[in-house]
């Protein structure tokens, strides 16, 4: 099974191709995308990656996307592209949390990502929430995975890893893909954890 994986949740993004079989996951290729170029560069980069492997989109058997949390714009671009490939090719689509991938990469139950405004996207087990950084620092989990130096500075005992990539998402989600645990393509949305600034400010203006 040839799977395309996409992660555009962070400051930079990645797309990867992998061959997923029972007991075997082979990374075929991965390409990096500079931040703020996703909307223009993601699909062309995927096509170039496929061509470099002697493939085209019709070769794909499934699509995997990290659907957040992270950059709202990046999430939207990644999810939209993944849904576009799935719908155009009539192939299944799976989605994973970037926090879950980070925790799996570090071998922990808990993980945290910078959410700005002195807040963190935080996962503990299966629960994901938005927390104030100083509140979590006052009662941190026994083992916490982070991937951003600024967050690690606040949690010096945390496990610092490199940021999760599309290939990490592929490794994490391979059992789900093989078992046929896919999302409903039409209803899949971003895992934003919190509302966007536009939603927050619109509600504030409406109350004034």
> What pLDDT, on a 0 to 100 scale, did the predictor assign at position 135?
97
Whether the pLDDT of residue 207 is over 80: the answer is no
Name which of 87, 107, 82, 85 is nearest 168 in CA terms: 107
Task: Please write the tens of the pLDDT for every residue from 114-162.
Answer: 999 999 999 999 999 999 999 999 999 999 999 999 999 999 999 999 9
What's the average model confidence in pLDDT over 49-74? Answer: 97
Percent of the chain with pLDDT over 90: 88
Q: What is the 3-class SS of the chain, one letter each residue?
A: CEEEEEECCCCCEEEEEEEEECCEEEEEEEEEECCCCHHHHHHHHHHHHHHHCCCCHHHCCEEEEECCCCCHHHHHHHHHHHHHHHHHHCCCEEEECHHHHHHHHHCCCEEEEEEECCEEEEEECCEEEEEEHHHHHHCCCCCEEECCHHHHHHCCCCEECCCCCHHHHHHHHHHHHHHCCCECCCCCCCCCCCCCHHHHHHHHHHHC
Enter the pTM of the model.
0.92
Q: What is the pLDDT of residue 23?
A: 77
| Span 82-97, pLDDT tens digits | 999 999 999 999 999 9
Mean pLDDT, rounded, for 23-44? 90
Query: Is the pLDDT reported for residue 198 higher than 60?
Result: no
**Residue of 84, 123, 96, 102 whose CA lies nearest to 191:** 96
pLDDT at 112 over 80: yes
> What does the mean pLDDT of the chain come to?
93
Q: 34 vs 56, which has greater pLDDT? A: 56
Q: Is the pLDDT of residue 206 over 60?
A: no
Band (24; pLDDT cuts 50, 70, 90): confident
* 194 pLDDT tier (thresholds 50, 70, 90): confident
State the pLDDT at residue 161: 98
Decide if pLDDT at 196 tops 70. no
Evaluate if residue 113 carries a pLDDT over 80: yes
Query: On the CB side of 5, how many CA atoms lie within 13 Å of its CA?
Result: 33
């Amino acid at each position: 099974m040839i799977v395309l994986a996409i992660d555009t949740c962070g400051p930079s993004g990645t797309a990867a191709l992998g061959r997923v079989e029972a007991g075997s996951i082979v990374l075929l290729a991965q390409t990096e995308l500079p931040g703020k170029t996703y909307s223009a560069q993601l699909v062309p980069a995927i096509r170039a990656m496929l061509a470099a492997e002697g493939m085209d989109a019709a070769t794909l058997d499934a699509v995997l996307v990290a659907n957040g949390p992270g950059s709202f714009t990046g999430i939207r671009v990644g999810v939209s592209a993944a849904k576009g490939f799935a719908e155009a090719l009539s192939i299944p689509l799976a989605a994973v949390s970037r926090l879950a991938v980070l925790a799996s990469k570090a071998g922990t139950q808990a993980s945290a990502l910078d959410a700005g405004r002195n807040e963190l996207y935080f996962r503990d087990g299966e629960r994901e929430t938005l927390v104030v950084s100083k509140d979590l620092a006052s009662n941190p989990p026994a083992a916490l995975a982070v991937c951003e130096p600024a967050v690690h500075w606040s949690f010096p005992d945390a496990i610092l890893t490199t940021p999760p990539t599309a290939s990490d998402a592929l490794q994490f989600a391979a059992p789900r893909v093989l078992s046929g645990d896919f999302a409903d393509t039409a209803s899949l949305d971003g895992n934003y954890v919190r509302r966007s600034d536009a939603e927050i400010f619109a509600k504030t203006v409406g109350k004034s």
